[in-house]
């Protein structure tokens, strides 16, 4: 009888463990679920808060202007996804399946856009293809031709979105392409199949799920991005700018919420597809032979050319923005100066937003990493309250389906409510930190979970049997083993908090302006050079953070190499 009682207690976990799980679920509800529910309910309310049923949706689909922005967004997103995935495929293929030189450099350049806010891509395009653009007037007439494109509108948006989504698609496809069973290629060769047939019967099916995932990710990112259309959109309205107009311009909260829900739809679809796809990802057998790159001059030459062109395009846009931020008065006085980095010269500008962004990102990275890791730990490594933990898992990956704008919007509705006891954080830096953690929770959660999954399942049991309290094992064993993942999470949270604009757009207080927001404002006000300077500051900061991350990660890897390699 006594032993039975004992085992019963053991199975239910300690009181502390159960309390922690309940606290985690409560936190996730406050962070994600409740704001989202508030947003949904607002979509069924009129201007004064009365219940109107589906009236908002009906109005939406009857308003030609609003409906038009939906079609525009769909067009932009489909175009972006197609172009971006095709380019990223060529690039990823070159870097994983050919023998070209300089892969590390190409990879670094391809990932650069991740470090900058999307406005930077738009600003770069403005300087290249805008009315005064370098290419538009043929390098001040130095070139024998001029090339006018209709930048402000779908073309410009799509160009900026392709640049924004390219690295994401590249990352997904590179992972897919890295796994292959070379024996399949050899079997096909032995049976006399041509290179082309092998490509379509072996390579493409092998990366099918990666391709699907990349297409959906690019589509969703372009669908919900605010920065690029804000800078190069001109009069071409898209959903993201439309929401902003409805909420900030016309204070039409109900319609804002309605557009928000429409904005979620593709993301929810992408989320669902991603869940199905990640489960289906074909397992590579342990007897598989890793891919061997055959020597082929012609193939390497062609792919090298493609990589050079793509890297050059990315490089040119970024260099243009850096150049523009350093040039006194474009295009009249081309001497170099740091005048644009003195933000006090522009209306309402100062360097303060940059410091605020740094502070917010540091808090987001610090608190976010701890909370996410603990969350993942509780869900993955404890055994009590299975149902709650499953709910917790769902809430943890749900933010994957939530665009920043939707999070920002739902946060206004939820926290701006006077009756909410947490109303106090509205207008402080903490709501920004909270919104960012929610926004980027899912990805870092997945990172933490997969690191935890790799650990021996028996670690907790063993320490249990030795009578060591679980928190001690967590600190002494589990956390050190997961250090590389923890570092990655912190870096990810920091960098994304620095560049994001959509989630914080609605939430910042006048005295707590953020760097990314001030880029939008300065660009809007025509101080494009200062906007360029601020976005360069953001990008440089992120590159620096990334370098520090690489250095620490390298240090950790060499330091812990002994017990990391034994498992693999």
Binding site for another protein (CB under 8 A): 181, 183-184, 186-193, 201-202, 205-206, 208, 282, 285, 287-289
Our CB check for another protein shows the closer of 208 and 328 to be: 208
One DSSP character per residue, 173-242 reads HHHHHH---HHHHHHHHHTT--HHHHIIIIIHHHTHHHHHHHHHHHHHHHHH--HHHHHH-TT---HHHH
Per-residue 3-state assignment (H helix, E strand, C coil) for 84-103: HHHHHHHHHHHHHHCCCCCH
Nearest distance in Å: CB 304, another protein: 25
- Closest Cα to residue 125, out of 228, 275, 51? 228
Nearest distance in Å: CB 565, another protein: 21
CA dihedral 229, 234, 239, 242 (to 10 degrees): 120
For the chain, the residue count is 568
Nearest distance in Å: CB 88, another protein: 22
- Closest Cα to residue 441, out of 485, 383, 487, 402? 402
In terms of Cβ atoms closer than 10 Å to its own Cβ (0-12, 13-18, 19+), residue 84 is buried
Nearest distance in Å: CB 279, another protein: 13
3-state SS assignment for residue 335: strand
Question: Residue 415: how many CB atoms within 10 A of its CB?
Answer: 23
Beta-bridge partner residues of 336 = 327
Our CB check for another protein shows the closer of 187 and 248 to be: 187
Nearest distance in Å: CB 183, another protein: 4
Our CB check for another protein shows the closer of 206 and 516 to be: 206
- What are the angstrom distances between the C-alpha of 287 and each of 17, 184, 189, 290, 479? 41, 12, 19, 9, 32
The C-alpha atoms of residue 128 and residue 321 are separated, in whole angstroms, by 9
On whether the CB atoms of residues 39 and 409 are closer than 8 A, the answer is yes
On whether the CB atoms of residues 84 and 314 are closer than 8 A, the answer is no
Our CB check for another protein shows the closer of 7 and 201 to be: 201
Nearest distance in Å: CB 282, another protein: 5
Nearest distance in Å: CB 184, another protein: 5
DSSP 431: H
Our CB check for another protein shows the closer of 205 and 315 to be: 205
Our CB check for another protein shows the closer of 2 and 287 to be: 287
Nearest distance in Å: CB 299, another protein: 17
The C-alpha atoms of residue 125 and residue 11 are separated, in whole angstroms, by 60
DSSP 283: P
Our CB check for another protein shows the closer of 187 and 475 to be: 187
Our CB check for another protein shows the closer of 183 and 558 to be: 183
Our CB check for another protein shows the closer of 163 and 184 to be: 184
On whether the CB atoms of residues 567 and 455 are closer than 8 A, the answer is no
One DSSP character per residue, 380-393 reads HH--S-HHHHHHHH
Nearest distance in Å: CB 159, another protein: 35
The two beta strands, 333-336 and 327-329, are antiparallel
Our CB check for another protein shows the closer of 180 and 452 to be: 180
Nearest distance in Å: CB 474, another protein: 38
Nearest distance in Å: CB 193, another protein: 6
Our CB check for another protein shows the closer of 280 and 557 to be: 280
């Amino acid at each position: 009888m006594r032993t039975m009682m004992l085992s019963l207690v053991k199975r239910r976990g300690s009181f502390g463990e159960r309390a922690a799980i309940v606290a985690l679920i409560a936190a996730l509800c406050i962070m994600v679920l409740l704001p989202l529910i508030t947003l949904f309910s607002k979509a069924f309310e009129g201007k004064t808060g009365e219940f109107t049923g589906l009236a908002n949706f009906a109005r939406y689909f009857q308003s030609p202007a609003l409906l038009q922005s939906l079609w525009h967004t769909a067009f932009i997103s489909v175009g972006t996804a197609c172009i971006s995935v095709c380019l990223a495929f060529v690039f990823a293929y070159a870097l994983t399946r050919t023998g070209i030189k300089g892969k590390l450099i190409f990879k670094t350049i391809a990932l650069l856009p991740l470090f900058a806010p999307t406005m930077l891509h738009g600003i770069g395009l403005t300087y290249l293809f805008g009315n005064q653009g370098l290419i538009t007037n043929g390098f001040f007439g130095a070139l024998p031709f001029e090339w006018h494109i209709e930048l402000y509108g779908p073309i410009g948006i799509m160009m900026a979105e392709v640049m924004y989504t390219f690295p994401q698609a590249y990352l997904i496809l590179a992972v897919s392409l890295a796994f292959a069973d070379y024996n399949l290629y050899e079997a096909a060769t032995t049976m006399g199949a041509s290179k082309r047939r092998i490509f379509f019967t072996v390579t493409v099916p092998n990366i099918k799920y990666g391709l699907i995932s990349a297409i959906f990710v690019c589509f969703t990112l372009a669908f919900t991005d605010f920065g690029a259309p804000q800078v190069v959109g001109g009069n071409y309205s898209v959903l993201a700018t439309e929401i902003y107009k409805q909420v900030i311009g016309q204070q039409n909260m109900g319609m804002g919420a309605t557009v928000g829900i429409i904005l979620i739809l593709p993301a929810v679809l992408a989320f669902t597809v991603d869940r199905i796809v990640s489960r289906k990802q074909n397992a590579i057998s342990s007897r598989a032979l890793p891919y061997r790159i055959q020597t082929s001059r012609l193939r390497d030459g062609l792919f090298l050319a493609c990589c050079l062109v793509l890297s050059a395009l990315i490089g040119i846009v970024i260099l243009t923005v850096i150049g523009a931020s350093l040039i006194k008065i474009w295009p009249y006085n081309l001497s170099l100066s740091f005048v644009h980095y003195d933000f006090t010269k522009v209306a309402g500008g100062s360097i303060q937003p940059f410091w605020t962004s740094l502070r917010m990102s540091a808090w987001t990275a610090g608190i976010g990493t701890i909370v996410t890791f603990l969350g993942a730990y509780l869900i993955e490594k404890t055994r009590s309250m299975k149902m709650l933990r499953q709910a917790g898992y769902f809430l943890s990956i749900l933010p994957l389906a939530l665009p920043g704008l939707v999070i920002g919007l739902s946060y206004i509705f939820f926290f701006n409510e006077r009756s909410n006891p947490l109303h106090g954080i509205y207008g402080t830096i903490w709501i920004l930190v909270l919104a960012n953690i929610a926004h980027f929770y899912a990805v870092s959660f997945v990172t933490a979970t997969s690191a935890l999954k790799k650990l021996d399942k028996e670690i907790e049991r063993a320490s249990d049997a030795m009578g060591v309290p679980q928190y001690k094992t967590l600190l002494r064993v589990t956390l050190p083993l997961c250090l590389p993942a923890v570092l990655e999470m912190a870096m990810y949270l920091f960098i994304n908090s620095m560049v994001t604009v959509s989630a914080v757009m609605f939430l910042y207080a006048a005295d707590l302006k953020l760097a990314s927001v001030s880029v939008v404002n300065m660009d809007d006000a025509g101080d494009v050079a200062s906007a360029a300077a601020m976005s360069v500051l953001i990008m440089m900061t992120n590159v620096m953070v990334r370098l520090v991350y690489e250095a620490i990660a390298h240090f950790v890897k060499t330091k812990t190499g002994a017990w990391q390699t034994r498992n693999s």
